[in-house]
Structure formats: structure tokens, C-alpha cells
Amino acid sequence: MIHSVYFFCLCFLLWNGVFGADADEVKSVSVMEGDSVTLNTDVTLLRDDQILWMFGPKETRIAEIYKQNIDMYDSNETFGDRLQMDSQTGSLTIRNIRTEHTGLYKLQIFSNRGNSYKRFSVTVYGVIGDTDEVKSVSVMEGDSVSLNTGVSEVQRNDLILWMFNVNNSETLIAQIHRQNIYIDDSVVRFRDRLQMDSQTGSLTIRNIRTEHSGLYKLQIIKAGVTYKSFSVAVYAPLPIPVITRDTSNCSSSSSSSSSSERSLVSRCSLLCSAVNVSHVTLSWFKGNSLLSSISVSDLSISLSLPLEVEYQDKNTYSCVINNPISNQTQHNINIAQLCHTCPELKQQTLLVVLSVVMIILVLAVVVGAIYFNRRKCKQARSQVQTCKEEVLYAETTFCARSVHSTKPDEEHHIIYSSVNAK
């Protein structure tokens, strides 16, 4: 009877200790490489309690407490001196954790109160190093892009993690664990845009925006750990550049010499502009030859590039704006139409013409006035001279007085005399 009871108790312990362990829930723990993580036992130890920590599929012993004596298994080179146990609770701390410490940790507690088991699935996210190869990917805003894992088929125990670098901190955005896909919708910028391939673990970003530009980190955990990095650059659609006449040099014409004015008339400056652009290059071409260019990497600024041409230039000029994946061109420039006289120069010419016309009118009025005045004076003088020299002739007849009727004997003589009328 005693042997039967002993055999029953032994079977019960084996059932709880071995088979029950596989049925226990696995607690997932995530940590960044280089940090420390503590796996808690959630118990308070008594003197005779025994706590055993194991790691990996072979359940290799890494740390133990028995009768309040702590034993670290230094033979395990995987952890070195990184392990530390709490003498009061038996909790295990892994300091300066590395990616090779990713895996399954098993805890066994033996005490007079009973035996218990716990399991922890620890995932260590690696930090991208400066020497890691980074694959560059360029895409137009609004398109979709796929970041490939290079895995032909995801196995059941494979763990694939996708992370995005935000403010120098890696944020988990998607993962496949035990062939189950998890998309983190808490990251607002990626909401309803991410999709993972269940066969390969590749990540697709749909309707991508410029805010999705950045560094993406892939971590594949199988028997070992594999890393890949993707630098994604998202470019906004490019505007067509605008070409105008640069009138900023017109203001100098008023104070320039005559030779400078002739130069302004024979040459003009064109300005090629684009607004709200980033990561672009603006260039002037004469036919297929590059004349000048300017590049900018700032966000949303206005960019301009001048070009001086001859007024009668018959060559073909074009202005091109481009980024690594697209370009826009403004060509067929009408030099004669663009290089018209500067507005200020037109005003000055008009003022000069009006001034000359006014001077001519004034001179004409003065000359006319002098002419008419002289003519009037001449006529007046002519009239005065004629009055002074005018002679009136009158015939004088001497008649005999009727008093005397005597008839003279001599012949009658008629005497003429000039009479001046005053």
C-alpha cells in the first residue's frame, strides 16, 4: 500500500514537473540590445527553497539558488558575467544583453509549498551599427514599396521583426511569430498602410508618404540571428519649373553709364524657379550641354537659378528640376519675348521722350511768339514810314473875282504849286 502511494505521488510530481511545464503560458519579454532585463519569479524565498534557471532548447542551466546559496554557471560562455540573481526572490537579471541571448528561459521553483514552473520568451532587438550594410530604396510618394526579407518560406518557430527608426529609437511596427502576423496599429503614421507576406515575411508599405522616409530594420531569428537594413527615401511629385525675366538688375540702369545701359539692352538675365521642393537639383541646359546647376536637401524651400543670355540669342535653352527618380523640364524658351525692356527702363525712356517733346513744344511756342512779334513790329514800322512820306497833290485854279469885270489885256498864266497836307 505504501509503495502504491509513493508511486502515485511520484507520477503526480512528474506530471506537474514535466508535462505541466509544456502547458504553462509563455511570457513574452522584449528588450533592446545593450539594455538590462529582469525575469521575475514573483515569490519570496525561504531557506530551503531551490530556484533553477535554464536557457535554450536544451534547457542548459545558467543560474541556481539552493538554501540561499547562489551559483552561477560560468562554464556557459554565452552569458559570461552578465547574469545576476536576487537572493530574496531568485529573479534573474541579464545585464548588457545581446542578440544571442534571444530565446526561451525556463524557471523551476522547488519548495515545501509546492513546485512551480515559468517560461519567458525573450526577444532582443539589435541596434544598427555603423558598419552594417544598408540597402537604399527610392520611391515616389503615393506608390507602394516592398522590403524583402530574402526568406523563401517562414518556418513555424521563426521570428521576423520589422522596426522603424523614429528619433534615433527603433519602434516595432510588424512581426511574424509562430506564423502569426502582428501589425502595430498604435504607430499612427503607418496605420492601414502595412502588409506582411505570410510566406516570406516581406513588408509592404502602401500609399507611402514622405513622412515614411527613414531607416527600416529587419531582424530574422531562426537558429541564429540575421539583420538587414533599408534606407527608404520617399520623394514628392516635382513641379514644372517656371522661367521669368529677372528684373532685379533693372534698378541699376538709372545710375549706370551709357555703355552699361547698352549692355542691359543687349543682354538680359533669366530666372528659373521652383517652390516648395526638397532633395532636388535645378539645372540650366543649352541644347544638351549643362550650363549651371544648384542642389538643395532642405525641406520645402523655394529654389532659383539665374542665367544671362543675349537679347538676340537663337539657341535653345531649357530648365530641368530632378530628383533620383523623376524630373520635370521647361523648354522652348522665347528669348525675344522674355528679354523685353525692363519696366523701369521703359518708364525712364518715356520720361525722356516726353521731356524732349515738351522742350520742342516750348521752343516752338517761343520761336512762334518771337516770329509773330517781329512780324507785327515790322508791319507797324512800315505803316509809320508811309505816313511821313505821303504827298497829296491838288490842282489850284485861280479864278477872277467877280468884283472887277475888267478884262485883262495880257494872256492868262496858270501857276501850279504843291501843297503839303498835314
Q: Average pLDDT for residues 198-223, to the nearest whole number?
A: 91
pLDDT in tens, 228-271: 999 999 998 999 999 888 776 554 444 444 444 444 446 788 88
CATH fold of the domain at 134-235: Immunoglobulin-like (2.60.40)
Same fold, 134-235 and 242-340: yes
Q: What percent of the chain has pLDDT over 70?
A: 74
- CA pair distance 153, 253, nearest whole angstrom: 74
Q: Average pLDDT for residues 112-127, to the nearest whole number?
A: 83
- CA pair distance 331, 338, nearest whole angstrom: 13
pTM to 2 decimal places:
0.51
- CA pair distance 197, 203, nearest whole angstrom: 7
- CA pair distance 232, 173, nearest whole angstrom: 15
Average pLDDT, the chain: 78
Instruction: Read off the C-alpha cell for 339.
Output: 528679354
CATH fold of the domain at 20-125: Immunoglobulin-like (2.60.40)
- CA pair distance 143, 134, nearest whole angstrom: 22
For residue 378, give the H/E element and its range.
helix 343-389
Query: Is 60 exceeded by the pLDDT of residue 5?
Result: no
**Residue boundaries of the structural domains of the chain:** 20-125, 134-235, 242-340, 341-422
Report the range of poorest mean pLDDT among 14-28, 214-228, 306-320.
Answer: 14-28
CA dist 399 → 10, 405, 413, 416 (Å): 201, 12, 11, 14
pLDDT in tens, 287-322: 888 999 998 876 678 888 998 888 777 788 899 999
Give the β-pairing of 114-125 and 26-32: parallel
For residue 21, give the H/E element and its range.
helix 20-23
Q: Residue 212 — pLDDT band, cuts 50, 70, 90?
A: very high
Q: Which residues pair with 73 in a beta bridge?
A: none
Query: Is 80 exceeded by the pLDDT of residue 408?
Result: no
Q: Which CATH number, 1.10.10.10, 2.60.40.10, 2.40.128.260, 1.10.10.60, labels domain 242-340?
A: 2.60.40.10
pLDDT in tens, 27-56: 888 888 888 999 998 888 777 788 999 988
